[in-house]
Structure 1
Amino acid sequence: MTNISRSPFTDEIEQAETPCEFSMPHFTYFKRDEDPKKHLKHYRSVMILYRNNDDLMCKIFATTLQGEVQDWFYTLPPQSIRSFNELSLVLTKEYSSHHSIKKKSDHLFNVKKNPKELFRDYVKRFKAEKAMIVRCNDSIARATFQKGLPVNHLLFRKLIMKEDLTLADSVTLVKKYAL
């Protein structure tokens, strides 16, 4: 059982006075399934005027934790957090598996139409994967879309004959010939 009255912060942090001019900004809450680095970046940008007040940065950051993350925070050993950098490292280490992985255009080579999958479902799935790629190269997207189709299908042959197609053109052909 966790003693919630015992903070993981040092006494110095706990006893530090909040500046009288401090007004609580609006924060997004951090939940365990989010990217901790993204949350820390947001927090630092909102707290930019107070970034030199390490004690305040720690105390206020604790209020941005929600649900299981807040429960986890109170399982940290008492007096174990001496600075905002330490708090950031502990949080990042604990929740780093939840950060979003940036995918590149070549990730789309893994997206192939399953034999029993409808073409419209393949198109939907391909578009969803493409949407997760920032600045996706259209030439690679078109080529990977085509490569994901069965080679013995009429549509594959039509796509391969038209080299100057965009991905949008390819999707339009799928709708015309395969759905």
Structure 2
Amino acid sequence: MILYRNNDDLMCKIFATTLQDEVQNWFYTMPPQSIRNFYELSLVFTKEYSSYRSIKKKSDHLFDVKKNPKESLRYNVRRFKAEKARIVGCNDSIARAAFQKGLPVDHPLFRKLIMKEDLTLADYFALAEKHALWDEAHQCTFKDLKKYPTSPP
């Protein structure tokens, strides 16, 4: 297309041949003579379809993933891993810091992570899994105690 950049009519026609499916339908449903040159066409096209492009997230986006008070640790880890998977080339050291920062300060896992500096992200997730199991076992035991009191009423 660079060879024809001074010929607006040809540029618009060549552009139309690169379109497919609903984008091609959009192009052919535009009112006749509503576009005067390729520059206008590129502006209209960009305005119409710029919201469809995916926004690339960076590693520091993970600092927005925080554990909600009523959320289980297991679900929080699952959510964090899903967000991390969406980041191409995610930096593990930033991910470790973000995961730790997303935990409440009073959470036992937070204390454990802050004390150990040589842990990998995989180590963080393994520790989180152990804590999630402990939390779930603790909750089951607590519910059982409520159902079956140890002393008579």
**TM-score over 0.5 for the pair:** yes
Q: TM-score, normalised by structure 1?
A: 0.61
Match runs of 1:65-144 below 5 Å: 66-67=21-22, 69-81=23-35, 86-144=40-98
Higher percent of residues as helix? 2
Change (3 A) 1:105 1:59: closer
1:120-168 deviation digits (Å, cap 9, x = unpaired): 2111111111122222221111011011112212111111111111211
Kindly state the Cα deviation for residue 52 of structure 1 after the two structures are TM-superposed. 4.1
Kindly state the Cα deviation for residue 115 of structure 1 after the two structures are TM-superposed. 1.1
1:57-91 deviation digits (Å, cap 9, x = unpaired): 233124x1x23x44433442212345655433321
Percent identical among aligned pairs is: 69
Say which of 101, 109, 130 aligns to 1:176: 130
Root-mean-square deviation (CA, aligned residues, Å) is: 2.3
Structure-1 residue corresponding to 2:139: none
Higher relative contact order (CA 8 A, sep 6+): 1
Structure-1 residue corresponding to 2:16: 59
Change (3 A) 1:96 1:59: closer
1:90-137 deviation digits (Å, cap 9, x = unpaired): 211112122211222211111001111121211111111112222222
